[in-house]
Amino acid sequence: MQSFRKFLTAVMVMSSFTSIAVAQPVGSEYPSLAGRTVLITGSTDGLGRETALRLGALGAHVLVHGRNAERGAEVVEEINSGAGSAQFYAADLGSLADVRELAAAVREDHEQLHLLINNAGIGSGFADGARQTSADGYEMIFQVNYLSHYLLTDLLLPLLETSAPAQVINVASGAQRSVNFDDIMMERSFDSNAAYSQSKLAQILHTFHLATRYDAAELTFNTLHPATMMDTTLVRQMSSPARTTVDEGATALVNLAASPALIGRTGLYFNGLREARASSQAYDAAARQRLDTLSRELTGLPPETPL
Ligand SMILES: NC(=O)c1ccc[n+]([C@@H]2O[C@H](COP(=O)([O-])OP(=O)(O)OC[C@H]3O[C@@H](n4cnc5c(N)ncnc54)[C@H](OP(=O)(O)O)[C@@H]3O)[C@@H](O)[C@H]2O)c1
């Protein structure tokens, strides 16, 4: 642990003097993650599963999350048979009470959390594209993809802060649509593609908002579009042909999580391995603040402490 901290410090000093490539060259070695604890939501399947296996192989202790305990146990077993270690946490992100229980369990079980990857998601093919509501009465795609991760992140921030340097990565998408504050739960007009794209841009607004509030040497917040139409359950539910592989998406996500070139860099949006620009609303500070205030109300959190 101590040596990893020294390594991070050395790289941060180096990167402040030299211009280094953002992306780790594909196929190159990443530093060991031994002693690092990582929570990956939605790691029983698809991109999250593959990322959990890869970070586990680098020596991390991986907190595998999802609803399906059987698939969760398989991921845990595979990680435990290699360099890393793992345990499973079940929680339905369609319930804010479940999110609170998940955060409480993680805080109870662990003195440190170095990396939170908010990855769990449902796509436009969920429920055959019909509007569903969560246990809390909110539009389901908005809650699972964005609002529950908002709450989870907030509840785990104190633990991440005490584990500094630490990171939060939000797995967003290239599918982005401005948050419609007049009908955020799409009660008047529902379209599952619009709901998905709104939830994904909301994640990016949240990432950029948090990046302005924390010292990047302590806590970084970054987000990415992993790859387009990977062959996963989410894409298969859309009845659209897959165009890329989980392998490609996991390479981008692991790069953001483990590349020494990104240490101390915050508020970034990546398209795969390349730094990119998100949709314009993400750069509107007033919209970010408005979404933050609303999210706190919707999740029952107290107002944000002014900076
Ligand atoms: N696939 C793509 O091409 C693509 C492109 C851009 C972005 N993304 C993003 O990448 C992320 C992962 O997507 P994927 O394609 O890998 O999806 P996936 O294979 O369908 O996996 C989704 C994961 O989320 C979990 N999950 C879903 N609903 C949940 C809920 N209510 N409560 C708790 N966990 C839940 C699932 O766990 P259980 O099955 O155990 O419930 C599963 O582990 C998503 O955020 C997605 O928006 C994907």
pLDDT at 9 over 50: no
In a domain, 16, yes or no: no
pLDDT score of 307: 81
In a domain, 212, yes or no: yes
In a domain, 25, yes or no: no
Known active-site residue 214: no
Sequence-separated (6 or more) residues with CB below 8 Å from residue 297? none
Q: Which residue has the tokens 């579009």?
A: 225
In angstroms, what is the span from residue 1 Cα to ligand 1's centroid? 31
- Tell me the pLDDT tens digit for each residue of 16-38: 222 233 444 444 589 999 999 99
Structural domain tally of the chain?
1
In angstroms, what is the span from residue 233 Cα to ligand 1's centroid? 8
| Catalytic residue from among 138, 196, 214, 269 | 196
CATH of the domain at 90: 3.40.50.720
Sequence-separated (6 or more) residues with CB below 8 Å from residue 2? none
Question: Is 48 near ligand 1, meaning CB less than 6 Å away?
Answer: yes
In a domain, 305, yes or no: no
Q: Please tell me the distance from the alpha carbon of residue 76 to that of residue 43, in angstroms, as a whole number.
A: 10
Domain extent, residue 157, equals 32-299
Q: Please tell me the distance from the alpha carbon of residue 147 to that of residue 203, in angstroms, as a whole number.
A: 9
In a domain, 19, yes or no: no
Residue 169 Cα to chain centre, angstroms: 4
Q: Which residue has the tokens 């593959």?
A: 50
In a domain, 54, yes or no: yes
Helix (H, G, I), strand (E, B) or coil at 80: helix
In angstroms, what is the span from residue 104 Cα to ligand 1's centroid? 22
The CA-atom distances, in angstroms, between 117 and each of 52, 149, 245 are 10, 10, 19
Q: Which residue has the tokens 């993400």?
A: 282
Residue 305's pLDDT band, with cuts at 50, 70 and 90, is confident
Please, what sign has the CA dihedral across residues 251, 115, 213, 6?
negative
In a domain, 283, yes or no: yes
- Tell me the pLDDT tens digit for each residue of 132-179: 999 999 999 999 999 999 999 999 999 999 999 999 999 999 999 999
pLDDT at 216 over 90: yes
Question: Is 68 near ligand 1, meaning CB less than 6 Å away?
Answer: yes
In a domain, 12, yes or no: no
Q: Please tell me the distance from the alpha carbon of residue 6 to that of residue 52, in angstroms, as a whole number.
A: 25
Q: Please tell me the distance from the alpha carbon of residue 61 to that of residue 64, in angstroms, as a whole number.
A: 9
pLDDT score of 287: 98
